[in-house]
Amino acid sequence: MQGQPTSVLFACDYNAVRSPMAEGIMKRDYGSSIFVQSAGVRHKLEIDGFSIAVCAEIGVVLSQHRARSFSEMEEWGDQIDGYDLIVALSPAAQRAALEYTRFYALDVEYWPIFDPTDLGRNREEKLAAYRQARDQIEARIRARFGPPIEVEP
């Protein structure tokens, strides 16, 4: 297993579906042992309601998440070079993250998590697609960071 970073930034296209799920699952499972945030390549959307719903099923609260882009992060003083690892969950996020490696010494990993937003014809089918993405993210997190740690309430 690779070394454990002390800070991780999850990234996807809009910071509305996959990366907030990953951030929430990491915070639930690893508490403050690893600093975790998420961002998108662009910011045009707010947190997706289906993401909120499927994460609530596993005890992850996303309703207060505020979507943000890489550039907004930096405008707000959260510098990209402050992270040890960027985990890109989409091809666009991977390209954006690799651009930062031209200037900063940080690691980038690409986890090809599918985008569930256009799947399903009705609510139950959509929820099933989002659950699949959520479960895929959770499995990758466990494979990379190990079993969850005991987080004190």
- Number of alpha carbons in the 13 Å side-chain half-sphere of residue 114: 12
What is the span of the domain harbouring residue 90?
A: 7-145
DSSP 152: P
Residue 26 covered by a domain: yes
106 touches 85 (CB < 8 A): yes
The confidence score (pLDDT) of residue 21 equals 98
Residue 102 sits in a domain whose CATH number is 3.40.50.2300
Instruction: Give the burial class of 45: count Cβ atoms within 10 A of its Cβ; 0-12 exposed, 13-18 middle, 19 or more buried.
Output: middle
Residue 153 covered by a domain: no
Global pTM value: 0.92
As for how many domains the chain has, the answer is 1
Residues with Cβ within 8 Å of residue 122, at least 6 apart in sequence: none
Q: How far apart are CA 30 and CA 83, in angstroms?
A: 16
The confidence score (pLDDT) of residue 151 equals 58
Residue 2 covered by a domain: no
Residue 152 covered by a domain: no
The confidence score (pLDDT) of residue 74 equals 85
Residue 98 covered by a domain: yes
pLDDT per residue of the chain (153 residues) written in tens, 0 to 9: 457 899 999 999 999 999 999 999 999 999 889 999 999 998 777 899 999 999 999 999 999 998 999 889 888 888 888 899 999 999 999 999 999 888 888 899 999 999 999 888 999 999 999 999 999 999 999 999 999 986 555
